[in-house]
Structure 1
Amino acid sequence: MNNRPSPIRGRFAPTPSGRLHLGNALTALLAWLQVRAAGGAMILRMEDLDAPRCKPGTAAQVMEEMAWLGLDWDEGPDVGGPCGPYEQSARLALYEEALERLGREDRIYPCYCSRAELQSIASAPHGLTGEGPVYDGRCRRLTAEERREREAVKTPSLRFAMPVKPFPFADGVAGPQSFGPGAGGDFVVKRADGIVGYQLAVVVDDIAMGVTDVFRGWDLLDSTPRQLALFEAFGEPPPRYAHGPLLLGLDGSRLSKRHGSVGLSALRERGAKPEKVTGWLAWTAGLTDEPEPLAPRELIRFWDPRRIAREAVRLPADWTNFIID
């Protein structure tokens, strides 16, 4: 499954469900700096498996906004590359092949739980993680006869059976991390509606594209043990993981489309310059001592993961004073 044309290979993998905002831009910038500082190859991959969430034309808008920021990539939907295609919607055969392998090795099982059953699991003590409800494995224990009876009523999803063992790893920003046995419970690798699960697709793609280094937001830290378990199941070495700070709105909530003024398109319309945006983001993350206009290429010399903030950063009330002319 491996194809590793370059010793250091990183990626930015947005979901094209909307325009980029400052939070997305921060993650993209830090992922890009990590790779470029090491002289590696940058991959842009569109995670567009969930078709109802993805809007036509948004992928092109995302790429245009990244280019405006001064971020480039060596492989991607527009430039191609040796590990394409670079849209997950065009890689479904690879995911089905991976599911068949996991099925043959008895690492996945059908889950027939209703929405109400899943909600009751989530409401139980210790029933939630950052990744959502901790599944209690009830369908894993069904007999063959019970599965036949349930399947006559409901199309199942498929869950990966998490090994009952700890998952330690060294995070490139936060340092040593360890997740306990089971690490969030068995998780869905294919939904009942046929959509392949995020965790499976990401791991299959990272293996096939030879990704060696992953920089992403802190909100995905809980994904790491699940992905480590999948890499182990496929007999492949995992990439090095690093998790950076999230940007929070003035109200303390995570940035999203509802914070309209933080979208890159809105900032551009108000006269923002890209080097002011990237310089401000680098300062916000902790890489520089003060906000100053710096293009991504100029920021490479400042790259030091030890300086990156380990806590979420709330936008200050005057945050536009530097970015907007």
Structure 2
Amino acid sequence: MISPAQTPRQPNYRGRFAPSPSGPLHFGSLLAAVGSYLDAKAHHGQWLVRIEDIDPPREVAGASDEILRALEAFGLHWDEEIRYQSSRLNDFQSAIDMLLSNQAAYYCDCTRKRIKAIGGLYDGHCRDRQLSANQCAVRYRYDNAIEHFEDLRLGTQTSIPAQDFVIKRRDGLIAYQLAVVLDDIDQSITHIVRGVDLLETTSCQLALYRQFNQPAGQYLHLPMAVDAHGNKLSKQNHAPAINWRQPQQQLWQAIESLNLKPPAALQNEAVATQLSWAVDHWDRRLLAKNNQVLT
């Protein structure tokens, strides 16, 4: 059996943490950041940070800077220049134009009300209507759906029912599904370590990798932090911000939540010492099989 200290070396490993600036980091996002960082460093890889700032209505002024200050306070130092996703809007639009010209995408004027009325699963209503761009979203034509994929923690996963999905919203904003894949391709990301709440998006993203004829990264979906009532810690649920001015105890808690069983005395050590210990003891097989971690 391979011990944590014998993690196989993967010098071409490139991981990332990609928060949206819709508010400060909470413990759930810290857990994803720490997990992705430890997996990268334990495999002698690089760890990048990307600010996914392509949804201005949800963004909070100053949140990007506060997120970066928090990461630094927790000792989570990135290996390359920060990427701001908003700098890539022209590239995203070029990809959409190509998909439209290849009939791999189409304009859609269906409302959420209509989709909800038919059961919540989009039925391809606009596929052959030849609509114009006016007041329309753009949907990817999800033919030859991904039925199964592998997760490094959970094993073989069965995809949710396939439906054509939005890659550009009716309000003109680029959708997450497209932007995250194009950036991961452009940054040569090999491992995508994130919360299990994003598990259901994976098959759509794998379909886009296939559409662009690019190799997909390996996925590792970490357990999701929940409160005492079982609610996901998220900005929408008003999860409290982490206290990055006193990071030791919360960093230790994140390491413990990743099931590494750190000694209690470690929480009094500097963040660099805690992270060094956690990198040395990282082992994906130790991650809980339960998808929820109580905080």
- Do both share a fold (TM > 0.5)? yes
Look up the match of 1:139. 126
Look up the match of 2:94. 97
Alignment of 1:199-278 (within 5 A): 199-257=177-235, 262-265=240-243, 268=245, 272=246, 274-278=247-251
Look up the match of 1:171. 151
Q: Deviations over 1:57-112 (max 9, x none)?
A: 111100000111111101232xxxxxxxx111111011011112212221101111
The structural deviation recorded for 1:175 is: 1.2
Alignment of 1:18-57 (within 5 A): 18-57=23-62
Secondary structure, counterpart of 2:79 in structure 1: coil
The structural deviation recorded for 1:249 is: 1.1
Amino acid of the structure 2 residue aligned with 1:69: F
Secondary structure, counterpart of 2:51 in structure 1: coil
Preserved contact between residue 167 and residue 175 of structure 2 (Cα < 8 Å): yes
Mean alpha-carbon deviation: is it higher for 36-45 or for 278-287?
278-287
The reply on whether 1:302 has 2:275 as its aligned counterpart is no
- CA distance in 2 between counterparts of 1:72 and 1:165 reads 38
Preserved contact between residue 288 and residue 302 of structure 1 (Cα < 8 Å): no
The structural deviation recorded for 1:260 is: 6.3
Look up the match of 2:115. 118
The reply on whether 1:281 has 2:261 as its aligned counterpart is no
Look up the match of 1:80. none
> Normalising to structure 2: TM-score of the pair?
0.88
Amino acid of the structure 1 residue aligned with 2:249: K
The structural deviation recorded for 1:281 is: 1.3
Distance 1:140 1:258, change over 3 A: closer
The structural deviation recorded for 1:219 is: 0.6
Q: Deviations over 1:240-265 (max 9, x none)?
A: 00000111112221113477674213
Preserved contact between residue 167 and residue 228 of structure 1 (Cα < 8 Å): no
Amino acid of the structure 1 residue aligned with 2:200: D
Distance 1:139 1:74, change over 3 A: same
> Normalising to structure 1: TM-score of the pair?
0.80
Look up the match of 1:73. 78
Look up the match of 2:135. 155
Q: Deviations over 1:175-215 (max 9, x none)?
A: 122326xx441110001111001000000000101000000
Larger RCO: Structure 1 or Structure 2 (Cα < 8 Å, ≥ 6 residues apart)?
Answer: 2
